[in-house]
Structure 1
């Protein structure tokens, strides 16, 4: 940790506030009869926005419509996968996620101790009803949705924006994310970053830093 005391903690949604999305992506791969690693790289990877229409959707530039399907077919076909919007769209809009109760407990504890908390997630507009059904977004002082701000992790600007909305310096923030490239993005922006591996370990490390029991 740096010498500047932390005053805010920023939580990812999928894989932190809700249980890991990897199982959902693996399900999509099964539905598309595709190699799970290929689908994981296309949905959760780091390819540039220009090459990945899913990332365009996550910054609010591309609805999940027929144009999206055409673009996705082109991208997926290069990896030997047939993209089917009739499978993909319900996979997004009808998802059932499991909240992480330990992380919710941590958010509540931090707030009770005066620590600012934010939710920062890469998401498409069509997925927001799932998020709002799964967790209580009102717990957070700030909610940053990539599709509303036109930026997505790991772009350093979205971390800077989140810190600004929290009214703190970036080096006073801790970002918790389950994807290493998003943690590195936070660090590149000047934040502290914590890679989520286990709920109990994350809770313990964060509470120990703030000397909360």
Structure 2
């Protein structure tokens, strides 16, 4: 199809899904499975999570607001506990794919909904992990973070911002995200959207889209 750029989500694509960490936390606290996702899906544009990802509130405000939202849904969990489990495990095969794509001449971008307390959806909690994350982010030509841009997915503006920064049309791009709600606006703009359900599936679908064998070293 002649794609020239590949744009990645971070958490759930480059790293394992934060939802896995949420489920572990829920099990530890005796909460219903996917309760945290339910909180985040309630009033998704104005809830604590949305406000924090747009940097409209600080960590302490998020902690209190998230706890209030949880109580309104019948259970107790503080916002800081959720933030503390966000760091995801890097998928090495995805990082190798970034290098292969770059060597083949593809432009690389990253659009991540994140919060002001860390870099990327997999927020580094130690100096070593921070350095590792920075090395991954350095592979992208442009990175747009919701907490810095003041806009978050699935708002179409954040995808348009990336196209403007790369100086290309949406139809030139492949976009990967683990959330279907974030893939829909990308596809509507003309991007080839890939919903990520696993690292291997993502690399297989991306290989077909760009004409490279990204599974060779997976």
Which band: TM-score by shorter chain? Answer: 0.7 to 0.9
Q: Measure the CA separation in 2 of the matches of 1:69 and 1:103.
A: 32
Give the TM-score normalised by the residue count of structure 1: 0.86
Other-structure match for 1:117: 108
Other-structure match for 1:57: 52
Other-structure match for 1:207: 207
Q: Does structure 1 residue 47 correspond to structure 2 residue 58?
A: no
Query: When the two structures are aligned, how many residues end up with a matched partner?
Result: 204
Unaligned runs of 5+ in 1: none
Q: Does structure 1 residue 79 correspond to structure 2 residue 73?
A: yes
Q: Measure the CA separation in 2 of the matches of 1:198 and 1:88.
A: 22
Residue number among 30, 33, 38 corresponding to 1:36 in the alignment? 33
Query: Retained in 2: the 8 A contact 1:122–1:152?
Result: yes
Report the 3-state secondary structure (helix = DSSP H, G, I; strand = E; otherwise coil) of the residue aligned with 1:154: coil
Q: Does structure 1 residue 25 correspond to structure 2 residue 19?
A: no
Q: Measure the CA separation in 2 of the matches of 1:210 and 1:91.
A: 34
Q: Measure the CA separation in 2 of the matches of 1:116 and 1:205.
A: 18
Displacement of 1:153 in angstroms is 0.9
Other-structure match for 1:68: 62
Structure 1 residues 32, 62: CA separation in 2 closer, same or farther (over 3 Å shift)?
farther
Q: Measure the CA separation in 1 of the matches of 2:168 and 2:77.
A: 42
C-alpha RMSD over aligned residues: 2.1
Q: Measure the CA separation in 2 of the matches of 1:82 and 1:46.
A: 16
Structure 1 residues 208, 86: CA separation in 2 closer, same or farther (over 3 Å shift)?
closer
Q: Measure the CA separation in 1 of the matches of 2:99 and 2:167.
A: 20
Structure 1 residues 86, 138: CA separation in 2 closer, same or farther (over 3 Å shift)?
closer
Q: Measure the CA separation in 2 of the matches of 1:86 and 1:146.
A: 19
Give the TM-score normalised by the residue count of structure 2: 0.84
Report the 3-state secondary structure (helix = DSSP H, G, I; strand = E; otherwise coil) of the residue aligned with 1:164: helix
Displacement of 1:91 in angstroms is 3.3
- The superposition leaves residues 95-122 of structure 1 with CA deviations (integer Å, 9 ceiling, x where unpaired) of 3x21111111111111111110111111
Structure 1 residues 159, 25: CA separation in 2 closer, same or farther (over 3 Å shift)?
same
Between 1:200-209 and 1:104-113, the stretch displaced more is 200-209
| Aligned counterparts, 1:98-109, within 5 A | 98-109=89-100
Q: Does structure 1 residue 174 correspond to structure 2 residue 143?
A: no
